[in-house]
Amino acid sequence: MPRTPLEPRFTVEYLSILDSDGNLDSALEPDLSASELKRLYRAMLLGRRLDERMVRLQRQGRIGTFAPIKGQEASQLGSVCTLRPTDWMVPSFRETAAMLWRGWPIEKLLMTFAGQLEGTQPAPDQHDLPITIPVATQLPHAVGLAYAAQYRGDDVVVMAYFGDGATSEGDFHEALNFAGVWHVPVVFVCQNNQWAISVPLKKQTHSRTIAQKALAYGLPGLQVDGNDVLAVYAASKEAVDRAREGGGPTLIECVTYRLGVHTTADDPTKYRSEEEVREWERKDPLTRFVEYLRKKNLLEEGLEQQVDAEIAAAVKRFEAMAPPDVLTMFDHAYAEKPPELLAQRDELAGRLRGPDDAGSAPEPPSSPPMRGQRKTSRWQN
């Protein structure tokens, strides 16, 4: 018997509205007001400036290792701005700009990268999950949130972020499969920055695009110019609106580039060329958007100075806080602490008290704080 085609040949679309030379496809230009465009640019500038300041803080030993976002501002802000406060945002570990948009204070983000657990805790009314370091593990969680919203009949959309490296993990495929089967209101935003640390995209997949991976799970997939904030916005708004109306999940692949290091512990000169970086610098999302706003006469005088002052004030507040209680590191691994963990805690408590107290009895272990309670004085200042 001859083979019978079961499906027509699939196609994957690519969307670009404002190219790297500043050329605008006015037919596709989204309907954004002047105030919305200004707010978007300010958020992009704040994300970039904070990123640069945090690199300096890390090099000075004032915070720990973190993952810079330089070059990926449009992918994050063009998508997250389409959410309502009641929607859920699920980040990976490189969504600083998106977290700022969602209301995370700068000093709280600095606490996170200084290794303080209080920095990772969302506000009680905040519909965000904390950052996730293990690659792709947040994606099934995002689908679970969307499934819960669907089950309860809540008017909620979930947006989950991840990188191209995450698409090589089983969690990614499990999440897309579950989302497709249950038709849940989730938007998957892949920031394809070309490198999973030092592994290039071509060594992760033989697929021409990441967006096409959605088709296998029965959901739409779209590739967009991730350095074009207008294109990211248009694609994300369409996906969010469709999810909210019961149309199910979408995978958006934002083709962008990590202009800086993977983390501040990385040296990208070992695995990528200067020519490649310079080529992508010419596609910088900020310079492109600046030209667009200049033609509309929407650039604000003194905005850079305002943003720098906001960051400086937040750094000052962060560094004025009291040091954390390091013993809290023992509080959240076990519901009932095993004896060896208690012994380690007691030994550290003795060392922290100093040599004068070395012979005294160790302090009794404290109970773990309830959610919302904090043992340190940092939050009481």
Instruction: Give the model confidence (pLDDT) of 120-135 as tens digits.
Output: 999 999 999 999 999 9
Q: Assess whether 271 carries a catalytic annotation.
A: yes
Instruction: Give the model confidence (pLDDT) of 258-308 as tens digits.
Output: 999 999 999 999 999 999 999 999 999 999 999 999 999 999 999 999 999
As a whole number of angstroms, the distance between CA 286 and CA 164 comes to: 22
Residue intervals of the chain classified under CATH 3.40.50.970 are 13-320
Of 3.40.1350.10, 3.40.50.410, 3.40.50.11030, 3.40.50.970, the CATH number of 13-320 is 3.40.50.970
Q: Assess whether 233 carries a catalytic annotation.
A: no
Q: Which of 271, 294, 332, 334 is catalytic?
A: 271
Instruction: Give the model confidence (pLDDT) of 168-187 as tens digits.
Output: 999 999 999 999 999 999 99
Q: Which of 48, 94, 102, 262 is catalytic?
A: 262
Residue the block writes with tokens 């600095």: 110
Contact 28/17 with Cβ under 8 angstroms?
yes
Nearest to 271 by CA among 339, 196, 377, 329: 196
Q: Which of 48, 127, 258, 378 is catalytic?
A: 258
pTM of the model: 0.89
Instruction: Give the model confidence (pLDDT) of 88-119 as tens digits.
Output: 999 999 999 999 999 999 999 999 999 888 89
- Contact residues for 158 (Cβ-Cβ < 8 A; gap 6+): 87, 88, 89, 90, 142, 143, 145, 146, 149, 184, 185, 186, 187
Q: Assess whether 262 carries a catalytic annotation.
A: yes
Token pair for 72? 């990926």
